[in-house]
Structure 1
């Protein structure tokens, strides 16, 4: 069955270049009306121009699709609200939000200025929060919404010199976890993608041979699946070079330490058992995870 977006309206942030551009072009090719949002700044977030967004709009229209450009800075909530109002005025609804906008200001933590740490969090984390908040009530009223966060292997697993970027990217996974719970009753599904692709964000981070093998077009299939009508929710997919995998947060089986062993030394002595990943499992929500700890404690006290 072909996955289509006919009648759907999508906002894609940071879609003047790179991954966002390819996501937007494919959404339009599959029938969506698309808002091409791009502040037009450099990779570090400085500057600004509407040229990139307008060019993507022209590409979509030339191919017979429907799109409009918007230059809102995702760090500015008022601008983001105006963007959503423009989308509603133009198309009547908003069904899909792809939070893709991002910047890089890489440095080791010891050398990083707090302004650079904050700037990266503002774009990746707060930018996604602003856009999601601005569409949330629209989607609740429609009883339909598909939201995609963009995380990174740097956030999920760590990477040298990207403390600001990794912190922001991991925070988006936490945001997804919360919103899947709150959005469920209104058919709002929230997912996350961890892309690896040759874009201006990675052009001097990855080797040339690798860049040649990882095109944005090889990530977009996962992104669009995660915002489709039959998408899952609370799912993180990693994608790059045509290879795909799923990532999730797991917890090992709780180990009860009786009073005599419930000491610093007791934890040290049982550390290998506590970190036995063969017992790991994911939880539907924090209540279930806390419940597992309480259950283990109660059983241990009765033993």
Structure 2
């Protein structure tokens, strides 16, 4: 346990609307969704149908939500879903999805229908935050009656799509998880902050009821050509979960309300890139996300064709 002090709220007391408002007012815009995401989405209209599936109520004009869908759409092909930016501060999830769409998706266009949602949480992207404006974590909110607008809008969109064979959800584990976001979570919930360990390297999170370890291994192998894989800690764990294969842990996706449980896909993984490593750069992190997508899809190509 840590005696860490968070500057909002009182120790041991969960936040009410006043503290949440105080937290929101302390956030600042640090980068541009328009310049870094929307302009890149617009440039992809040659090869994708760009579909708006909603907008965030905090500023609907500034934060429209878009998905990219294969063009042409071939009804007989299996569908692959790629999501990024569920946590807006996890940069390579957003940029890796866009890089794959721009530079690598063509190699899969004849074998998969692709749905790419590059930035689920654009307000979080601009403010470099894990939460949404209501102090809610979208990636614990993929549930019925979701408290997260970001999750609700994505769920409604996916409900109207064909069956998804594979879902690759792109994330990062960062040093700021322990410096800011987990302390904020403890303060919000009126609980003590218990320090954790940030793993140095890439890992994946599979679904406990449907781990698909061969699929996870293919993703890990592909990424290992780009960046290092996180080792298990002294307890044979990564972030408190048992390592079931090199670089692989499992979570019950639906039970926890995670984006990885969004669909009934047969194959799914959540990637976790470590951008704060001395061995990493933004470009390497983006490439690792692309490698994860390609490793997963290449594995399925061998299975299907």
Q: TM-score, normalised on structure 2?
A: 0.36
Q: Look at both structures and tell me which one has the larger radius of gyration over its CA atoms.
A: 1
The structure with higher relative contact order (CA 8 Å, sep 6+) is 2
Query: If each structure's helix is expressed as a fraction of its own residues, which one has the higher value?
Result: 1
TM-score w.r.t. length of structure 1 = 0.37
